[in-house]
Amino acid sequence: MGQSNTLSQHCYKEKTKLLDNSESFLQIFHRNLADFWCKITGFNVIAFDAFISPNINENTYNAVLRKYGQEGVDLVKKLI
C-alpha cells in the first residue's frame, strides 16, 4: 500500500508541474507541453530533444539557448 501511495503522490506532483508550466511552455516553444509529457515520468527529454533538433556536435542545452534564449533554458531546467 505504501508504494501505491508514493506513486500516486509522484503522479500528482508531475501533473501539477505540467499544469503550472503549460502556458509558459506554449508561449516560449509554441508547442503544447503535453506533447512532451508522460503522466508517470514527467518531462520526456528524448521527445523534446527530437523537437529541438540540435546541430551536429551541439547539445540540447545550447540548442535551446540559441533558439529560445535563457527563458527557454530556465523553463526546461524547471521541468527536469
Q: What is the DSSP string of 27-74?
A: HHHSS-GGGGEETTTEE-HHHHHHHH-PPTT--HHHHHHHHHHHHHHH
pTM for this entry: 0.84
**How many domains does the chain contain in total?**
1
CA 32 from chain center: how many Å? Answer: 10
Whether the Cβ atoms of residue 32 and residue 25 lie closer than 8 Å to each other: yes
CA distance 66 to 38: 26
- Mark the ranges of the chain whose per-residue pLDDT is less than 70: 1-5
Q: Which domain holds residue 11?
A: 2-79
Predicted confidence at residue 2, as pLDDT, reads 54
Predicted confidence at residue 1, as pLDDT, reads 46
CA distance 20 to 44: 16
